[in-house]
Chain A
Amino acid sequence: MKAAVLKDYGQPVTIEDVELRPPKKGEVLVKIKAAGICHSDLHVVSADLPLPVPMVLGHEGAGIVEDVGEGVTRVKQGDHVVLNWVPECGTCYYCNIGRKDMCDEAQATAQSGTMPDGTTRFHLNEEEIFQFSMTGTFSEFTVVPENGVIPIRKDVPFAQAALVGCGVLTGYGAVVNTAKVKPGSSVVIIGAGGVGLNIIQAAQLAGAAKIIAVDLSPRKFDLAMQFGATDTIDASEDDVIDQVIELTGGRGADYAFEVIGNPNTIAQAYNCLGKGGTAVVVGIAPPHLDVSINAFSIPAQSRTITGSWYGQSNPIVDVPKILDLYMVNKIKLDELISKTYQSLDGINEAFQDIKEGKVARSVVEF
């Protein structure tokens, strides 16, 4: 069975014939039908997102349930599913207060690269191969925890459904669950990539009046407008803060989203805000970096800076909801797919395209 494995940081992924052990109790074997390529996968390659290697990358995927382990009730063979890269434990403090996105167990297990029981399902020549956040979608099959599968309607194509597993849910949730964007408000999105475009469309859905997309790559602006942006700022040419202030009648924005993972643009998101505004950091910066913001402005202008992990979502509810919105043309998914590959070989090229800001999303179809 083929899987794309990152053997060491900074290396291309290689396609390996790996062994996948059967699902244990409470686990599900999924035949992957489509996998999206997210910038977070690339962060693992560059070691900016500290996860162990060798690893099967990929965390955005959809497929068909092939088999279930003992005790699994959520799905049965043949069900279509989207994978959930924060499979909650259901019993920790954060799960109990309704913050599945912050589940202690899910975060700890993701960091270890294993399944919740501490072992790996993927092996290569008897060596353990880790999997990205209990998913590992760059593979023909994968084994995931029961809470890592979200059953979905069967009339959505797999490629479109796959994107909901990370980019769409993350962007939609940052707007709806974290910022709770109000109708008529002004919103800035710094980084109009695979996730940022979904923030743009969710902001439009939430009724934002001004949606300002900021990017370095002008080829993102047409897409941004198509997804609902009202204005664009080319950060390689223009002073972003000045432009935002001008576009918001001198006040600054009500909400700003950072969707890159860079301390400078995180500060920029905060600095774009008007009084009482909220900056939401979605981009993942390497763990050793700090951000500096003006201290006086925090109380004197009552600005908020917060973060959003996996859209602060409840995937079992939010994923089907987003797919329903897609089926009634309120959420765009087709337009997110810039390139499709019919084999895992395309992943290294897809990484290069992300680096160059060329694509919204690339998808591997199986």
Chain B
Amino acid sequence: MPYFQSAEELYQVFEGFFQEVKDSEQSKAIMKSYVKSDKHDALVQYIYHKPEAKMTWVPNDQGSIDVIYGETDLNPELTFEMTADIGHKFWLGKVDLTQALARQQMKATGPLSKSLKVVPQLQQWYPLYREYLIKTGREEIAV
């Protein structure tokens, strides 16, 4: 059974989580490591399947990130496509990115040079995601 039964459930968890971390030092560091592209108006889009969901990160004026949940016309520079289950495991730090790409559990588009800078920064969020799940009573999926 998938960890999230619907896009609404998934958005609820991630919205709460991002709300908590978006102004953190970690997310400021992510934005610092990202050189904005003229051709794109969003940094990264996570495309999830089972359930179908989309989360798009847009840099804001405060040097932090806004997240759009669901469909958007914005044009992201990077995309990461995966099942919501793999996405969940990714934020728990349980997915080896090279392996996931090699097995097509995750598909990435956009310049690898940028992913290489952004992705290692995300690691700092992994413990925060776990903590957030536990704090909000979702410990059953925090393992």
Interface pairs (29), CB distance under 8 Å: A237-B1, A239-B83, A239-B85, A239-B86, A241-B103, A241-B105, A242-B85, A242-B86, A242-B105, A252-B103, A267-B104, A271-B102, A271-B103, A271-B104, A271-B105, A272-B103, A292-B104, A293-B104, A294-B101, A294-B102, A294-B103, A294-B104, A296-B101, A296-B102, A297-B101, A297-B102, A297-B103, A300-B102, A301-B102
Contact indicator per residue, chain B 101-112, by CB within 8 Å of chain A (1) or not (0)? 111110000000
Instruction: A342 to B40: give the CA distance in the assembly, Å.
Output: 68
B-side residues, CB < 8 A to A, are 1, 83, 85-86, 101-105
Report the minimal beta-carbon distance from A286 to chain B, rounded to whole angstroms: 21
A-side residues, CB < 8 A to B, are 237, 239, 241-242, 252, 267, 271-272, 292-294, 296-297, 300-301
Report the minimal beta-carbon distance from B125 to chain A, rounded to whole angstroms: 22
CB-CB nearest in chain A for B50: A239
Looking at chain A's contact residues, the main secondary structure is loop
Q: Which residues of A contact B101 (CB under 8 A)?
A: 294, 296-297
Q: Which residues of B contact A252 (CB under 8 A)?
A: 103
CB-CB nearest in chain B for A273: B103
Instruction: A237 to B1: give the CA distance in the assembly, Å.
Output: 7
Report the minimal beta-carbon distance from B70 to chain A, rounded to whole angstroms: 24
CB-CB nearest in chain A for B103: A271
Report the minimal beta-carbon distance from A112 to chain B, rounded to whole angstroms: 38
Report the minimal beta-carbon distance from B111 to chain A, rounded to whole angstroms: 16
Instruction: A297 to B96: give the CA distance in the assembly, Å.
Output: 14
Q: Which residues of B contact A293 (CB under 8 A)?
A: 104
Instruction: A294 to B106: give the CA distance in the assembly, Å.
Output: 10
CB-CB nearest in chain A for B107: A294
Report the minimal beta-carbon distance from A188 to chain B, rounded to whole angstroms: 13
Report the minimal beta-carbon distance from B81 to chain A, rounded to whole angstroms: 13
Report the minimal beta-carbon distance from A120 to chain B, rounded to whole angstroms: 45
Instruction: A38 to B28: give the CA distance in the assembly, Å.
Output: 60
Most chain A Cβ neighbours within 10 Å, of B85, B101, B104, B105: B104
Q: Which residues of B contact A300 (CB under 8 A)?
A: 102
Q: Which residues of B contact A271 (CB under 8 A)?
A: 102-105
